[in-house]
Structure 1
Amino acid sequence: MTDLSTAAALTAEDLRRPLGRDATFLQLSSGFCAPCRATRRVLERVVATQDGVAHVEVDVAHRADLAERFGVTGTPTTVLLDAGGAPAVTVTGVPSLAQARAAVAALRAGA
């Protein structure tokens, strides 16, 4: 995981989707990526079991601006945004369910 705490915040307008009340997983994916589908399942499970958490998946082919902003060199890349849309951490590859839940818990504990 990479610390992004000094990066500029994203808004709902930037993402074209609402932010979660407490946290938002921004998943940067590509259409042909099997690990992206696995990541989607993990993050959707977290969202389904934790109130205030959202998941926004974008295809890097359609959102090159976000891919460039976060230096995406491979998909999936997931950025955890705090309640204000500020990037907190990023991870490339498929996170485990435990890792995703722990990241949200750490974000909430630091709030």
Structure 2
Amino acid sequence: MDEQVGETLRPDELGAELGAKATLVQFSSAFCAPCRTTRRVLGEVAGMVDGVAHVELDAEAHLELVRRLNVVRTPTVLVLDGAGRVVRRAAGAPRKADVIAALGVAIP
């Protein structure tokens, strides 16, 4: 997780409320095996850290957002701060330690 983006996402775009401190947004697709691993890792981290939400989006059902954010593979994970700004981005299944480190950037 190393690329900073700066784009801001709203709850109505995600179809879910933002976490009070941070939000982990996962773009997935139906037949993506690494997406299942990513879902588990992000869910575990969100469960460990108060104020962090995990939102999983089907890339095919959110094509406008996928195009706007230049999501080219699944899983792609965005880490949003409490205001919905993208502070980190990664493609592929992340390691739990990397997700926790990225949250350190999102949560002051």
Residue 88 of structure 1: CA displacement? 0.8
* 1:59 alignment counterpart: 58
* 1:29 alignment counterpart: 28
Counterparts of 1:107 and 1:60, CA distance in 2: 23
Unmatched tracts of structure 1, length 5 or more: none
* 1:83 alignment counterpart: 82
* 1:17 alignment counterpart: 16
State the percentage of identical aligned residues. Answer: 40
Residue 25 of structure 1: CA displacement? 0.6
Counterparts of 1:48 and 1:26, CA distance in 2: 14
Residue 10 of structure 1: CA displacement? 1.1
1:72 aligns with 2:80: no
Deviations, residues 47-75 of structure 1 (Å, cap 9, x unaligned):
11100000000011100011112111110
Q: Which amino acid aligns with 2:98?
A: Q
Counterparts of 1:105 and 1:40, CA distance in 2: 20
* 1:104 alignment counterpart: 103
Q: Is the CA contact (8 Å cut-off) linking 2:82 and 2:106 kept in structure 1?
A: no
Counterparts of 2:13 and 2:61, CA distance in 1: 13
TM-score by length of 1: 0.92
Residue 14 of structure 1: CA displacement? 1.1
Residue 11 of structure 1: CA displacement? 1.1
Secondary structure (helix, strand or coil) at the match of 2:9 reads coil
Count of residue pairs brought into register by the alignment:
107
- What stretches of structure 1 move > 2 A for 4+ residues in a row? none
TM-score by length of 2: 0.95
RMSD: 0.9
